[in-house]
Amino acid sequence: MVKRYFKKDEWFGNIKNDALAGMVVALALIPEAIAFSIIAGVDPKVGLYASFCIAVVISFVGGRPGMISAATGAMALVMVTLVKDYGLEYLLAATILTGLFQIIAGFLQLGRFMSFVPRAVVIGFVNALAILIFMAQLPELTDVTWHVYVLTIVGLGIIYLFPYVPKLGSMIPSPLVTIIALTVFVYVMGIDVRTVGDMGQLPDTLPIFLLPDIPLNLETLTIILPYSVSLAVVGLLESLMTSTIIDDLTDTTSDNNRECKGQGIANIASGFIGGMAGCAMIGQSVINIKSGGRKRLSTLLAGVYLLLMVVFLSDILNVIPMAALVSVMIMVSIGTFDWGSIKKLQTLPLSTNLVMLTTVIVTVYTHNLAQGVFSGVLLASLFFANKISHFMYSETSYNEDNTTKTYQFIGQVFFNSADKFYKTFDFKEVVDKVIIDLTRAHFWDISAVYSLDKAVIRLRREGTDVEVIGQNEASSTVIDRFGIHDKPEEIEKVMGGH
């Protein structure tokens, strides 16, 4: 087992670039972790400890080298009401339970169900995430003095313009420049704006192991269970989607089930050191790849640098104006958004666009990415069923003396095309015998079987002899299992509604 689990190349194949990229990511992780703690309604230290712990643990146990996991906005949004109603300790317990569910999901190999999530839903998910991250910044931008707006805009200006500075631009992360510049400016000028220190406690020590202080009873479980399920699903969805993005960018593959288990282990570890639940981060992972990070070392170092900076620089972190964080978060939001998907709206089919937009709208409305994804998948499945149901038609023919009519069905018969199947029969026509030829038809479910039964029974009532022939393998297994048209006692039941 050890040999497949610890691959030297996955760690040390890219040391120099990983070390640099880890630093860039760590710098961008700090504002994110603080911002997401604020969204969740907990002290910044909860998010910072979580980001450290998750990044470090996932670097060992994750299934996607080079992907960055930490405290995330998607997860923070799910836990808001839990924190508000029951407090931090329940969040920690929910985080641990989330991890357990994710490990179970890994062992059940649920990663393969990602194949049910169509591309349009993935894009919708990413866009919804970007919108949610942006919306989460709005409280910092409402009911504030004009200073904040100016600072935020200047911050964004530095982030996007500093990289154009020759030499330095591609050596120093521009979000860092923004944070330093705005902090120094606000501090020196003595401008009275909200700072990170106003938002709650920052870490001043290394994290320590602690058990959540909650009563271990059924009531606690009923409180945290729904949150844990949501967190587990959201975490895995975002992680697996991010890993496909990294797969695409780097032209490598990842181990989805190992990633599921890894996310679980990381969350459990986070819960036990006072951190909130997290998952993979699209924006940070893209930054990591852009900075040259590829291997597990980059993720590990991002976590380690983050902790060192946070613990030793907590006094400085306290005076960072929130406006600087907001600019960084707006950058993350813009960078996460799939810009190409807006351009493609005109060229893609309406159904695809509707799936994408539904995912976005439901997610933004419920603040729960899992619900958005489920709506998107459901809608996409319905559209698919609708498309497939067009692939069914029939041809009719008579024998020489017009006493026997043959219906030949071609295509897919299932819940959505079953009605069409039934309506194909001309029940008013008087013939001695009807042959239903299913040689080239596929029966998929009991709806199809039911409509065949209904047609056969109706034809027999009208005094027509019926012969069903040419059931192919797939159809016959379904008919054998569900068929009732040859059982007289069932006839009345089927025809009861007529």
List contacts with another protein (CB under 8 A): 2-3, 6-9, 13-14, 17, 20-21, 24, 27-28, 159-160, 162-163, 169-176, 245, 248-252, 283, 286-287, 289-292, 294, 331-332, 334-340
Residue closer to another protein (CB basis): 170 or 381? 170
- Min dist. Cβ of residue 342 to another protein (A): 9
Residue closer to another protein (CB basis): 233 or 245? 245
Residue closer to another protein (CB basis): 292 or 470? 292
- Min dist. Cβ of residue 317 to another protein (A): 18
Residue closer to another protein (CB basis): 30 or 436? 30
Residue closer to another protein (CB basis): 28 or 452? 28
Residue closer to another protein (CB basis): 317 or 331? 331
- Min dist. Cβ of residue 347 to another protein (A): 16
- Min dist. Cβ of residue 245 to another protein (A): 7
- Min dist. Cβ of residue 202 to another protein (A): 22
Residue closer to another protein (CB basis): 169 or 349? 169
- Min dist. Cβ of residue 251 to another protein (A): 6
- Min dist. Cβ of residue 175 to another protein (A): 5
Residue closer to another protein (CB basis): 271 or 283? 283
- Min dist. Cβ of residue 191 to another protein (A): 25
Total number of residues shown for the chain:
498
